């Protein structure tokens, strides 16, 4: 049966990338209290989709749906004791199940209920008595659409994260900071909370590259990013602005606290040698840090970065491996 039906569906597939195999393991929940109809539906779907679960009340079905990752929910609108449309609206009101495809099973000609169901967010319907081939085709269409949307979303999330992170170190990049810092600062000003930034730059990094090569230079950049990320709170963020220059944003942090964080970061870098692939094995690395705090009316992201940059310049002038606030 699988070969025959997938062959038929293959004709409907414009891309040819989807066949019945892609529905293997699909998880389908059926809400139905008629054993006869349930058996028919389950048997039909099982041949194709693998995993069919059933429930005979809306409450049981909802509980199941909220604790599972379903690919399709089939809802009977001919239940004896309750209205399947309730499950329909419940599924649409929970974040976890908002996108799950819903296929209604209705009494032949019951267009009123169909209209209501579609309005509540059902995706399709089928009339009883159930025709197996029609059920298969409608179920497959919904599952295919759901999986396609999941792929789109995954691709979208991947490109989003690629656009906003630095590919060498995995921390955020300048583009992210440019988009994020102004908003963060605005919120800080509104809430009368300070926001601190640390701008830091690796000392004599050119010497690292010149002495050990670019590969080792890259290893140092990665380790610096990693030490910075490891020593911050979860809502602080690290970004590589370019070259060997980084910024740390510390929301809700005043000048004293920022200085403490900066000194901790600086010593975590300076006090432990960096393991590298060069023959020497380990090398010393230090950073200079400039601190600035914003959050007053009229503060801008550019102004904040500029002040941190001036402090960083002072730190370099003062002999490096130090923090200036």
Q: Which residues have a catalytic role annotated?
A: 244
Determine if 194 is a binding residue for ligand GH3 (CB under 6 A). Answer: no
Separation CA 257–CA 60 (nearest Å): 51
Which is nearer to ligand GH3, 214 or 233 (by Cβ)? 214
Which is nearer to Mg ion, 148 or 313 (by Cβ)? 313
Which residues are bridge partners to 320 per DSSP? none
| Near ligand GH3 by CB under 6 A: residue from 214, 233, 296, 306 | 214
Q: How far is the CB of 202 from Mg ion (least distance, A)?
A: 5
Determine if 201 is a binding residue for Mg ion (CB under 5 A). Answer: yes
Determine if 254 is a binding residue for ligand GH3 (CB under 6 A). Answer: no
* Binders of ligand GH3 in range 215-244 (CB under 6 A): 217-218, 221, 243-244
Residue nearest to ligand GH3 (CB): 217
Which is nearer to Mg ion, 122 or 224 (by Cβ)? 224
Separation CA 274–CA 60 (nearest Å): 57
Determine if 94 is a binding residue for ligand GH3 (CB under 6 A). Answer: no
Distances in whole angstroms, Cα of residue 73 to Cα of each of 58, 126, 130: 12, 13, 16
What does the angle CA 2 – CA 4 – CA 10 come to, to the nearest 5 degrees? Answer: 95
Query: What are the DSSP calls for 70-116, one per residue?
Result: -SEEEEES--SSS-HHHHHHHHHHSGGGTT--EEEEEETT-HHHHHH
Question: Which listed option, Mg ion, ligand GH3, none, makes contact with residue 218 (CB within 5 to 8 Å by class)?
Answer: ligand GH3
Determine if 204 is a binding residue for ligand GH3 (CB under 6 A). Answer: yes
Q: How far is the CB of 201 from ligand GH3 (least distance, A)?
A: 5
Which is nearer to ligand GH3, 92 or 320 (by Cβ)? 320
Sequence-separated contacts (24+) of 172-176 with Cβ below 8 Å: 172/237, 172/238, 172/239, 172/240, 173/239, 173/240, 173/241, 174/239, 174/240, 174/241, 174/242, 176/239
Residues lying near Mg ion in the complex (CB under 5 A) are found at 201-202, 205, 243-245
């Amino acid at each position: 049966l699988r070969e025959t039906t997938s062959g038929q569906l293959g004709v409907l597939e414009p891309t040819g990338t989807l066949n019945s195999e892609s529905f293997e393991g699909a998880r389908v929940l059926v809400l139905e209290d008629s054993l006869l109809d349930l058996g028919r539906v389950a048997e039909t779907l099982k041949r194709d989709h693998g995993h069919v679960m059933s429930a005979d009340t809306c409450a049981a079905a909802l509980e199941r749906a909220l604790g599972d990752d379903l690919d399709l929910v089939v809802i009977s609108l001919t239940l004896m004791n309750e209205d399947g449309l309730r499950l329909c609206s419940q599924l649409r009101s929970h974040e976890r199940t908002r996108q799950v495809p819903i296929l209604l099973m209705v009494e032949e000609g019951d267009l009123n209920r169909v209209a209501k169901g579609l309005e509540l967010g059902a995706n399709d319907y089928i009339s009883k008595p159930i025709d197996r081939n029609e059920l298969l085709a409608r179920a497959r269409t919904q599952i295919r659409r759901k999986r396609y949307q999941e792929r789109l979303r995954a691709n979208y999330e991947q490109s989003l994260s690629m656009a906003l992170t630095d590919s060498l170190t995995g921390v955020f990049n300048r583009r992210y900071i440019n988009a994020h810092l102004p908003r963060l600062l605005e919120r800080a000003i509104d809430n009368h909370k300070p926001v601190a930034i640390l701008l830091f730059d690796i000392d004599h990094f050119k010497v690292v590259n010149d002495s050990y090569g670019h590969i080792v230079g890259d290893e140092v950049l990665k380790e610096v990013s990693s030490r910075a990320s490891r020593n911050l709170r979860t809502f602080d963020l690290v970004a590589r602005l370019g070259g060997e220059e980084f910024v740390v944003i510390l929301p809700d942090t005043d000048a004293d606290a920022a200085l403490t964080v900066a000194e901790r970061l600086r010593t975590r870098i300076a006090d432990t040698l960096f393991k590298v692939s060069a023959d020497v094995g380990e090398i010393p690395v230090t950073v200079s840090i400039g601190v600035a705090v914003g959050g007053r009316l009229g503060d801008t992201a550019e102004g904040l970065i500029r002040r941190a940059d001036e402090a960083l310049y002072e730190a370099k002038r003062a002999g490096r491996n130090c923090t200036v606030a």
